[in-house]
Structures are given as structure tokens and as C-alpha cells.
Amino acid sequence: MEYTTLGKTGLRVGVAGLGCGGGSRLGMARGLPRSESVRLVRLAMDLGVNYLDTAAVYGTESIVGEAIKPVPRDQVHVATKASIRNGMELIPVGDVVASLENSLRELDTDYVDVFQFHAVPPALYDRIREEYAPALLREKEKGKLRHLGLTETPPNDPAGEMLIRASQDPVWEVVMLGFHMMHQVARRNCFPGTQANGIGTVLMFVVRSIFSIPGRLEETLAALAAEKKVPDWLGTSDNPLGFLIHEGGASSVIDAAYRYARHEPGADVVLFGSGVEEHIRTNIGSILRPPLPAEDVARLEALFGHLEGVGLDLPEPRKT
Ligand SMILES: NC(=O)c1ccc[n+]([C@@H]2O[C@H](COP(=O)([O-])OP(=O)(O)OC[C@H]3O[C@@H](n4cnc5c(N)ncnc54)[C@H](OP(=O)(O)O)[C@@H]3O)[C@@H](O)[C@H]2O)c1
């Protein structure tokens, strides 16, 4: 593993972080036995992963809690999140504090390293900042969380508007954002601010469905070509990102996706979500590989740098 500093939190974190939600939820989404999910978290830790991302709604906090039991608490960094809304109505701040308490019970720990407001849409940002952050900062003073952050909701905020503001506000120590080869908006909207303000970044949606469900990439590009948003040849190719796979380049589209995100200036932790041992091993391997060749990175920017909101699906459980 390679380690980096997560902004002003000072935490030394592996650049590959385990996502315990998404379409996989550590394999729970396809009915993996709990003991197997615990084993997979421990496997990731054995491979050097020390940043575990979970949330109250994922149903994986107790799995993470069990997995980290044998490890000295300061050797692993646990991030969790509380839901803040029911539809577009904010839930009371007391319920968010109660969610933190419940997360501590589920994780069977005295504190979380990072606590985040989960999936904050632009319309609710002001109230989260002005009313909810102060309440959680009081919990921080009590030692229940070490660092405060928030996550965006890419499917509901494709232009990344919430993070245009949050990335400029030093109250946040960590932000989680969607970023991938065909959704590069954070380069303009987020990373300049997080870098200027020392805010740590955790990347999600790096592979998601678009690069992992067979046929999804081709369907997406066909639709984009029909809208004249990408060149016609991308809409008709049966291997549209094949140009990335060559000697000295990527070994697969998924390898390219993780390497692309990992080496984006401003990216600290790249999350990968999986419930499959082989995927965990290969994804960590990809994240640790060198950057894609500069000409491939430039081509991805030329082809897709203008796109917003592509491939930001809600979680889709896998059948196999
Ligand atoms: N708003 C938010 O706060 C928010 C929203 C979304 C996600 N997140 C966090 O971000 C994490 C990462 O997002 P994500 O789950 O979308 O992860 P991801 O790494 O972008 O996508 C992984 C998806 O692809 C599959 N996959 C992974 N490696 C593969 C491989 N080598 N070959 C083929 N398929 C592969 C996984 O299922 P398999 O089980 O088949 O490997 C999973 O469904 C989540 O776990 C969650 O912790 C947060």
C-alpha cells in the first residue's frame, strides 16, 4: 500500500480505501454470509487498506466493527455517515446526533475517525453548514468523532454544485465526491478548493456500474453520440475505450478507471466497493500502479472532459 495524508486531518491513509456501501455492500447485496464479508474486510486490511468507508444506511457498520476488533484502534481509520434527509426534508439535527451514537454502537467503538453528513444536495447545504455542523462539532469536542465531513449526492447533483461551495469552506476536513473517466467535473469544481483549504478528498463512483456492468459503457456512449456529446465512432464501437488497453497502458477498462482516479491531482483516497476477493486484490493492484500514459489521460480529457453527470447511477446489486 501507498499512504498519503488526508488533508488537514493529518490521518495517514492508504490511497486505496474500502467502500462498504455501493452496489455491493461487502457482498451483502448478493447474500454473502456475514462471516465472509468480515473476512473480506480483514483481507483488505491485510493488503494494507486502513480507510474503511461505511454509513448508517449501508447495514455494514457491525461487519466493519467485527472486522477491526483484532486491530489496534489507531491502526485503522473508520469513516461513517448519517442520513440528513427524508426526500428533500431535513431530519431533525437530534436524529443525526442519535445516528452517530447508533453508529458507535454498531461499530463497537468509542469514536469514528471521520463523520460525514450523507448525500447533501445543494438546496440543503446552507442549513447543514449553519445548523447541523455546529451540533456535530460539539460531539467532536466530546471525542465521538475525530474529523467532520460531508458527501455529495452525484445522481441528484450531476454538476457537483454542493461541492463548489463546500470545497471553499474550511469547516470541512473531508469531502467525498464522485469522479471518474467520464465525469471529471471535480477537476474544475472541487479539487482547486479542497487543495487550497487542506480538505481531504475521498473518491467514489470511480467504477460503479458504467465500467463494471457489461454493455453499460457502450449503451451510455451510444446515447451520448446520439446527442452529439461525443464523436460518432464512440457510439458505434463495441470496445470504445479499447484505446486505453495496450502495452505500457491499462490492462482493462476497470484497471484504467482506478488508475485514472488515483493519479488525479487532488485525489487522496480512491474507494473501491466489492464483495469479491479477486476484485479486492486486482483493484488494490490497479490503484497502486503508475499513472496511465500521459497521452491516454489527455485523450480522456479531450473526449469526456466537458461531460457532466454521466454514469452516476444509484446502486445496482450484482446477480453473480
Ligand atoms: N453519497 C455517498 O456518500 C456515496 C454514494 C455512493 C458510494 N459511496 C461510497 O463509495 C464506495 C465506492 O463506490 P462504489 O460501490 O460505487 O464502488 P466502485 O468501486 O465505483 O464500483 C464498484 C462496483 O463494481 C464492482 N466491481 C468492483 N471491482 C470490480 C472488478 N475488478 N471487476 C468487475 N466488477 C468490479 C463491484 O461489485 P463486486 O462486488 O462484484 O466487486 C461494485 O458493484 C461505496 O462502497 C460507498 O462506501 C458513497
Determine the residue of 150, 162, 204 to mutate for testing ligand 1's pocket, defined as the one with the most ligand atoms within 8 A of the Cβ atom. 204
Distance 69 CA to ligand 1 centre (A): 24
pLDDT of the chain, 320 residues: tens digit per residue: 999 999 999 999 999 999 999 989 999 999 999 999 999 999 999 999 999 999 999 999 999 999 999 999 999 999 999 999 998 899 999 999 999 999 999 999 999 999 999 999 999 999 999 999 999 999 999 999 999 999 999 999 999 999 999 999 999 999 999 999 999 999 999 999 999 999 999 999 999 999 999 999 999 999 999 999 999 999 999 999 999 999 999 999 999 999 999 999 999 999 999 999 999 999 999 999 999 999 999 999 999 999 999 999 887 766 55
Burial 272-309 (b: 16+ CB within 10 A, else e): bbbbbeebbebbbebbbbeebeeebbeebeebbeebeb
The pLDDT of residue 318: 61
Q: Provide CB contacts within 8 A for 91, sequence distance 6+.
A: 83, 84, 85
Q: How far is the CA of 207 from the centre of ligand 1 (A)?
A: 7
Note the pLDDT of residue 229.
98
Residue 173 CB less than 6 A away from ligand 1: no
pLDDT at 317 (0 to 100): 62
Does ligand 1 have an atom closer than 6 angstroms to the CB of 204? yes
Catalytic residue among 3, 51, 58, 258: 58
Ligand 1 centroid – CA 205 distance (Å): 7
Please give the full DSSP string across the chain, using - where no structure is assigned.
--EEE-GGG--EEESEEEE-STTTGGGGGGT--HHHHHHHHHHHHHTT--EEE--GGGT-HHHHHHHHTTS-GGGSEEEEEEE-EETTEEPPHHHHHHHHHHHHHHHTSS-EEEEEEES--GGGHHHIIIIIHHHHHHHHHTTSEEEEEEE--GGG-TT-HHHHHHTT-TT-SEEEEE-BTTB-THHHHTHHHHHHHT-EEEEE-SSTTTTTSTTHHHHHHHHHHHTTSS-HHHHH-SSTTGGGBSTTSBSSHHHHHHHHHHTSTT--EEEEE-S-HHHHHHHHHHHHSPPPPHHHHHHHHHHHTT--STT-PPP-----
Q: How many CB atoms lie within 10 A of CB 89?
A: 8
* Confidence (pTM): 0.97
Of 298, 273, 303, give the one whose Cα is nearest residue 183. 303
Query: Does 21 sit in the ligand 1 pocket, CB within 6 Å?
Result: yes
Q: Atom 34 in ligand 1: which residue has the minimum CA distance? A: 212
Cell numbers 450523507 label which residue? 118
208 lines ligand 1 (CB under 6 A): yes
Asked if 51 is an active-site residue, the reply is: no
What is the model's pLDDT at position 262? 98
pLDDT tens by residue, 139-149: 999 999 999 99
Q: Is 176 near ligand 1, meaning CB less than 6 Å away?
A: yes
Using CA atoms, how far residue 76 sits from 52, 66, 169, 309, in Å, is 8, 13, 27, 33
Contact between 163 and 136 under an 8 Å Cβ cutoff? The reply is no
189 Cβ closer than 6 Å to some ligand 1 atom:
no
